[in-house]
Structure 1
Amino acid sequence: MKIVHLAIAIALVGGLSTAASAGSLEKSLMKLDPEERAHQACVAKGLETVRRDKRFARADRLMPDTFKRARFSGSVVTAKGAAVRANNHWYALTFECTVSEDQMKALAFTYVVGDEIPPDTWEQVGLWR
């Protein structure tokens, strides 16, 4: 599973050309079970959406399950314990994301960025520099 997540991460942070990125992401997503596929589609959409805010333009990671497992029900992923990393700082994040029927694409993503997560708590919740 680590290889799949690595391919998704490379595609998300611009390590591949746009066409290669889209193809690689799609192939990687197809290897996942529907719930995990929905989570990863939301991570991709979430980074794209959060980066539109100038404060988070350099966001490079979004973790949907930092403080609490994100929930997938029907076609919606709800995360009340997520985190986003920008400029080497982690911030609390809540989001709701609607995915397509095949969980291959996030159709809508709404979010609220919370407070910065103190670096001395990162290790205990699985975050890194």
Structure 2
Amino acid sequence: MRTVFASILATMFVLDATAAAAAGSLQKSLMKLEPEERAHQACVIKGLEAVRRDKRLKAADRLMPDTFRRARFEGNMVSAKGAAVRAKEHWYALSFECTVSDDQTRALAFSYKLGDEIPPEEWENAGLWK
């Protein structure tokens, strides 16, 4: 479910056909989730926006916060030390810190550290794909 929803959110973010309508629809979708999941998804959206500013990750199209271990949600902070990001059919290890709004529908701040490329032979065990 998490992977499918993250993909839907990423697609909505990329298409951005009508920003205002999409934002309203996205917020309604997020409000259907539990607060922790809502925070994770808000961070995925903000995270893709942030990592795409990095010349190494301009083509990033997926960010998975729980690839190698569960991201933590405490207060208004999501901390992921076992995340992964995909760009041009390559996966990279990622850790990030993300601050979300009180209702967990918006990420207010996102900082990250890019790790090494994840070898394709490790993808299946990590739940990653091409």
Q: Same fold (TM over 0.5)?
A: yes
Length, aligned pairs only: 128
Determine the C-alpha separation between the residues in 1 that align with 2:21 and 2:128: 28
RMSD (CA atoms): 1.6
Determine the C-alpha separation between the residues in 1 that align with 2:104 and 2:10: 18
Moved more, 21-30 or 37-46: 21-30
Counterpart residue identity of residue 65, structure 1: D
Note closer, same or farther for the CA distance 1:78–1:65 as it changes in structure 2 (3 Å cut): same
The TM-score, its normalising length taken from structure 1, stands at: 0.92
Match of 1:63 in 2: 64
The TM-score, its normalising length taken from structure 2, stands at: 0.92
Per-residue CA distance 1:69-90 (angstroms, 9 max, x = gap): 0000000000000000001100
Match of 1:9 in 2: 10
Per-residue CA distance 1:31-65 (angstroms, 9 max, x = gap): 10000000000000000000011111110000000
Percent of pairs identical after alignment?
A: 69
Match of 1:84 in 2: 85
Match of 1:112 in 2: 113
Match of 1:128 in 2: 129
Determine the C-alpha separation between the residues in 1 that align with 2:108 and 2:16: 23
Match of 1:46 in 2: 47
Deviation at 1:14, TM superposition (A): 1.9
Alignment gaps of 5+ in structure 2: none
Structure 2 residue matching 1:115: 3-state secondary structure:
strand
Alignment gaps of 5+ in structure 1: none
Q: Does 1:94 align with 2:95?
A: yes
